[in-house]
Structure formats: C-alpha cells, structure tokens
Structure 1
Amino acid sequence: MSRTVYVNGVYMPEEEAKVSIFDRGFLFADGVYEVTSVLGGKLVDFHGHARRLERSLGELDMPAPVTVEELLDIHRELIVRNEVTEGMIYLQITRGAPADRDFVFPDPEATPPTLVLFTQSKALIESPAAEKGLSVISIDDIRWGRRDIKTVQLLYPSMCKMMAKKAGADDAWMVEDGFVTEGTSNNAYIVKGGKIITRSLGTEILHGITRAAVLKFAREAQMEVEERPFTLEEAKQADEAFITSASTFVMPVVSVDGVSLGDGTPGPVARRLRELYIDESVKAAI
C-alpha cells in the first residue's frame, strides 16, 4: 500500500510527491532533518527533536516553515494516515527552490523553505541486533567542523557504513586525532569498570536526543557517567560499548576493529540501559 507523505502543506501519495530540481537541498545539501521514533502509535521525545530542529535552523539562518504545534499535528496526522504503530517519521527542511542555482542564499521572503515528512514502519523494540550486538570498525573522521548541526550532508557517513559492510562489520566509529567522535548515525559510548564514558558535547558531534535521555536515565539509576573524549585504544580495552540513536535506541557493540569486548556478547550496562530507555519512552510518548 502506498504511503501518504507530506510536502509543503499537502498530504499526498508518495508516488505523486515532487520537489523542484532547483531545491537547495538537492543542489547544495542546504537543509536539516530530524527522525522521531514512534512506539505504540505515539511519538518519542518529539519536543526534544523540535528543539534541536529549531537550533539547527537558527545556526544556518534558515526560517522555520511551520510552528512546533503545527509540526506536531503533521506528525500525528501521518501516523494516523499510514497506520504506524512502530517506526519512524523523517522530517526535512531545506532553504527552498529559487528560480535558478546560485551559491548566494535566496531571499527567504521570495523563496519559502521546503518541508517534507514521511513515515517508515519498522520494528524497533524487538531487535535481533540488540541480542547479538554490533561490530564496528574505525574510520578517519574527515567531515566538516559543524557536526552539531543536523544537516543532510550525509555522504561521508554513508560511505563509512559501506566501508564497514565491505569489511564484514555492522558500522563504523569515526576517529579524529586518536579520539572517537561518533558513529556514522549514532553517538558512541564505552563502559569501563561500570563507568559509562561518552564524548562531551561540542561542535565535533551531534547533540543526540536519545543520548540526552539515556544519560538522564543512567544517572537516575545511579550509574556513573563521565563525559569526555575517549581514544580508540580505550575503546578496544573497554568492558563493553554501545551506541544510541532515535532508530536503534541503545544498541550494544561487541567488537571494535576485530577486538572483542568483554566476553564478546552484549554487556549488562547496555542491556539495562536499553530496557530503561524503552520502558521510559513508552510511558512518556505523546
């Protein structure tokens, strides 16, 4: 069955959805995006994603095409129209489609932003990968310096995922000056002596919405958390590791560059955090 998608104020079948060839998202990757999870037909941490979206737009001097309240209504309408009980909603805003290609930003009064949303139904809670754990390889981080802005400039992370697949791994962790920054589409963590270690916020990594929630739940559960950069060598010597993202929640990592962590199976900290995150998210979803 065809999905209903949203394009610039109109709900339509996905086959009919179109944007201009002059759209700056297509020509310049001049756009931002968010992915919000759906559990039980409700949105997980919608307002956290909305706040980060506002920040990304502000950093790029890009106007918001709708209010947060209107955005919430659109998300909910798409859930209903597509009968989504579990999965994700993808949202993208670009600087719009001026009359022609130009490096100079168009006048926002004359060129409104492009707003697109669509749903993806997917099992998120029941995950074979969470039971098995992921293997990751390390890749040099050569992305631009503003990784805290959630832009659609995702070519290099996509290439890194393909490098990982070619190496027989599940994903990649990016490394800069010997320190792990983040995964291709997720935040990275290690556990040593029961302590959760993850890179502190800055322009080097995305300010993960799931990251914020997981660290909050960890501290409430009396787990020790240290926010600082960790090296690739520390990762290889960790007791366990994991990643977080809106689409994977908390996902254990069991090997780094072929080095098994702990006994090579998902560790107790990652397992407990995944349980906590799912339980709390289901209760708080709107």
Structure 2
Amino acid sequence: MPEKVYLNGKLLDAEEAHVTVFDTGLLHGVGLFESLRTYRGQAFRLEDHIARMKKSGSKLGMIVDGDAGFYRNIIDDLLINNGLSDTRVRITVTAGSARVGVYTDAQAQPTTLVTCGPLQVPDDIYHHGVGVLLCDFRIHNTDPIARHKTTSYLPRLLALRQAQRISMADAIWYSDEGYLLGGTTGNVFLFKDDELLTPSLELPVFPGITRQIVLDIARELQIPVRETRISMEDTLAAQEIFLTGTTTEIMPVVAIEKHVVGPGRVGPITRTLLQKYRRNVRKELNI
C-alpha cells in the first residue's frame, strides 16, 4: 500500500507529493515543525504542539494555518490510510514560495505537510540506558531560533551524526557561557543531591512539552525540582541523567562519552518518572 501524506489540502501518495522549487523551506530553511506521538490512534497533547507552533510562527513572522481540530482530522485520515496506530507524526510548515531573492514576505501562503510513520525507538534503551556525546557546538543566548523548532536543523544533524559515529544515541549541548541546554532533539534533566534539575528557560532552551509534563509529575510526586543554570561540573556529578522528548518520552542516560553517570544503570528517579509519565498518557487518552 503506497504511503499517504497530507500536503496543502490534499491526501496524496508520498511519491506524488511535490513542493515548488521556490519553496522557502527548500531554499532557505524557513520553516517550523512539530513531532508528536500517537498512542492507539490518538495524538497526545496535539493542542500543545499546535499552540507552540503558532507561537513560534508569530514570533518568527510565519503563518501557521489551522487549529488542533484541523490537524487532528488530518492525522486521523493518515493513520487510517496508512494502517497505523502507534506512530510518530510530523507537521511541517514552511513560509511558502518566494520567487524573487530571499524570503522577506511573512504573508506568503504557507506550505503545510503532515506525515506519519512507525515509531523507531528500541525498548532496550529504557532498560539499559544510552550514552551521549558532548557536543562541540555552542548556542548563543541571542540566537533567534534557539527556542523554536525550525527546519534549520543542520547543526543538530551534524552533532547527531558525530554521536552516532562513536555509537552514542545523542549529543548534549551547552551555551557559549558553558551552561547545559539540552539534547539534540529534546530537553535534559539530571538528579543531583536529592534534587531534580533542568536548564532554565531563561537560557536558549527549547520549551519542550514533555519537559513541562515531567516537571509537573515531579512536583506531584514531591520530588524537589529546580530550573536553573547547570555547569559541566554539575552535569558530571549527577547521579542520574535523562533526556525528554515527545517520541522518546523519558530516555535514561548512563554515560557521557567515557564518563559513567552514577552507577552506570537506569536510576530509580528516572524509572519512577517514566512509569508515571506513561500512566498519565494512558489516563489522559483513556486507553
């Protein structure tokens, strides 16, 4: 069965879906995207993802058409036509066509693409954890896109490629001032001295939806939480570290390159938060 995608108002075979060669996403990387997860055919926190995308669009001068109901209908159609239930969904919106020079017109008709595919997250990582690379790149606090999920993704892909070359699952990033920011595709938490720490949103940190859920869960469980500035020294002294993201949920980190995190196995705080997170998903979606 040919893979179906949604593009600009039409459900199409993937091989038949085309954008103009003048699309600003293609020419200049001017675009936004959201990745979300479906559980038994239901999109989790879709409203939050669309609200975040629209907020980024407003900040960066891009139009994002449709509301959560609009995208829910598209996702439902894609799941049915692709015979899928538990999936990774990606919504991509570019600033549309710009035939002359570089993109400057914030009012151009956007290109909207929605795709879905099987999840590719091995269950083994939740039992044994993963290793991560210390990324060489640094993010400046004034970077205009650092707090947004844009299609200008090459630096992150380069970091991920570098990590995978040495059999690491991800890379963790620091600011130019030396503070921990997050992973390549998600946020980061560490447990140190009986306190759960995560980088403050005052830094160039992406405001992850899973990040906020984990903060809420930790507070509900009366785990002390602090959003703060985390140094390299703090990172290496952590008893537990994990990354958060919509598709991976809560991914335990047991090594930073050759440095072993805590005892080198998935810690009790990470396990507790992951179990509670999954219970909350099932309760929220009534599955």
- 1:284 and 2:284 matched: yes
* Secondary structure of 1:142 counterpart: strand
Once residues 237 and 158 of structure 1 are traced to their aligned partners in structure 2, the CA distance between those partners, rounded to angstroms, is 28
Shift of 1:139: 1.4
Which among 113, 116, 134 is matched to residue 116 of structure 1? 113
- Structure 2 vs 1, CA of residues 119 and 104 (structure 1 numbering), >3 Å: closer, same or farther? closer
Work out the CA distance in 2 between the residues paired with 1:181 and 1:134. 18
The alignment status of 1:151 with 2:150, answered yes or no, reads yes
Paired position in structure 2 for 1:160:
159
Equivalent of 1:128, from 124, 129, 138?
124
**1:39-188 alignment to 2 at 5 Å?**
39-98=39-98, 100-106=99-105, 108=107, 111-122=108-119, 127-143=123-139, 145=143, 146-176=145-175, 177-188=177-188
Which amino acid is the alignment partner of residue 164 of structure 1?
A
Quote the Cα distance in structure 2 between the aligned partners of 1:255 and 1:107: 44
The answer as to whether partners of 2:62 and 2:106 remain within 8 angstroms in 1 is: no
Q: Name the CA distance, whole Å, in 2 between partners of 1:282 and 1:101.
A: 49
Cα distance change on mapping 1:235 and 1:143 into 2, 3 Å: closer
Cα deviation 1:20-55 (Å, max 9, x = unaligned): 111000011100000111111111111111110111
Q: In structure 2, what is the Cα distance between the partners aligned to 1:171 and 1:86?
A: 23
C-alpha distance in structure 2 between counterparts of 1:265 and 1:50, whole Å: 36
Q: Which residue matches 1:33? A: 33
CA distance in 1, matches of 2:40, 2:25: 32
CA contact (8 A) 1:32 1:93 kept: yes
What residue in structure 1 maps to residue 251 of structure 2?
251
Q: Deviations over 1:139-175 (max 9, x none)?
A: 1333461311111111001100111122332211012
1:70-124 deviations in Å (ceiling 9; x for gaps): 12221222222222221211000011013x242242362xx31000000011265
Counterpart in the other structure of 2:229: 229
Higher mean C-alpha displacement, 241-250 vs 56-65: 56-65
Identity of aligned residues (%): 27
Q: Secondary structure at the match of 1:93?
A: strand
Assess, with a 3 A threshold, how the Cα gap between structure 1 residues 203 and 70 changes in structure 2: closer, same or farther: farther
SS of residue paired to 2:35: strand
Unaligned runs of 5+ residues in structure 1 are: none
Return the alpha-carbon distance in structure 2 between the equivalents of residues 267 and 107 of structure 1: 47
Shift of the 263–83 alpha-carbon distance from structure 1 to 2, 3 Å rule, reads same
Say whether the 8 Å CA contact 1:40–1:282 is kept in structure 2: no
73-82 vs 153-162, which moves further: 73-82
Q: TM-score, normalised by structure 2?
A: 0.93
